[in-house]
């Protein structure tokens, strides 16, 4: 059975996904600049993500998500955007909502997240 990826790994995958939506080529330095982490920290994280087959890196240092990495990054990104939207809809300012969503997205159960999405959707349809 595969070990569960750590929260930091999920954050790196989400960052790679976000960066890849903005530009076609993503390198470790882009991750460093986006996240504000040190080059050695990002380098260690990229090595771990490669080892666990969440990313591949070519000889020029360009990073691509594998299918497994893309699936997990997409799940985390969906949670982040949905949770941010939900929190904003109940009156939390956007900056706080985004920060809180970042904390919640890694720990919330699938069951609770799906229930929140259904609740938000039903309220949107009522309006």
In the chain, where are the structural domains located? 7-71, 74-126
Residue 36 has what pLDDT?
95
**In the 3-class helix/strand/coil scheme, how is the chain assigned residue by residue?**
CCCCCCHHHHHHHHHHHHHHHHCCCEEHHHHHHHHCCCHHHHHHHHHHHHHCCCEEECCCCEEEECHHHHHHHHHHHHHHHHHHHHHHHCCCCHHHHHHHHHHHCCCCCHHHHHHHHHHHHHHHHHC
Residue 120 has what pLDDT?
78
**Is residue 11 scored above 90 in pLDDT?**
yes
The domain 74-126 is placed in CATH, from the list 1.10.3720.10, 3.40.50.360, 1.10.60.10, 3.30.420.40, at 1.10.60.10
Q: List 64's β-bridge partners, or say none.
A: 56
- Does domain 7-71 fall under CATH 1.10.10.10? My reply is yes
What average pLDDT does the segment 98-108 reach? 91
**Is residue 121 scored above 60 in pLDDT?**
yes
Q: Is 73:12 a contact under the CB 8 Å cutoff? A: no
**Is residue 37 scored above 50 in pLDDT?**
yes
Q: What is the pLDDT of residues 62-81, one digit of tens each?
A: 999 999 999 999 999 999 99
What is the pTM (predicted TM-score) of this model? 0.85
Residue 24 has what pLDDT?
86
Residue 2 has what pLDDT?
45
Residue 118 has what pLDDT?
86
**36 exposure class (CB count in 10 Å sphere: 0-12, 13-18, 19+):** exposed
């Amino acid at each position: 059975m595969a070990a569960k990826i750590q929260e930091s790994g999920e954050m790196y995958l989400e960052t790679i996904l976000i960066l890849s939506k903005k530009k076609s080529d993503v390198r470790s330095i882009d991750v460093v600049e986006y996240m504000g982490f040190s080059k050695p920290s990002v380098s260690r994280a990229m090595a771990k993500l490669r080892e666990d087959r969440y990313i591949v890196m070519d000889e020029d240092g360009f990073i691509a998500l594998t299918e497994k990495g893309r699936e997990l990054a997409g799940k985390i990104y969906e949670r982040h955007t949905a949770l941010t939207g939900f929190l904003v809809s109940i009156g939390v300012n956007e900056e706080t909502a985004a920060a809180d969503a970042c904390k919640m997205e890694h720990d919330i159960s699938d069951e609770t997240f799906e229930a929140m999405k259904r609740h938000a959707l039903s309220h949107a349809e009522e309006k």
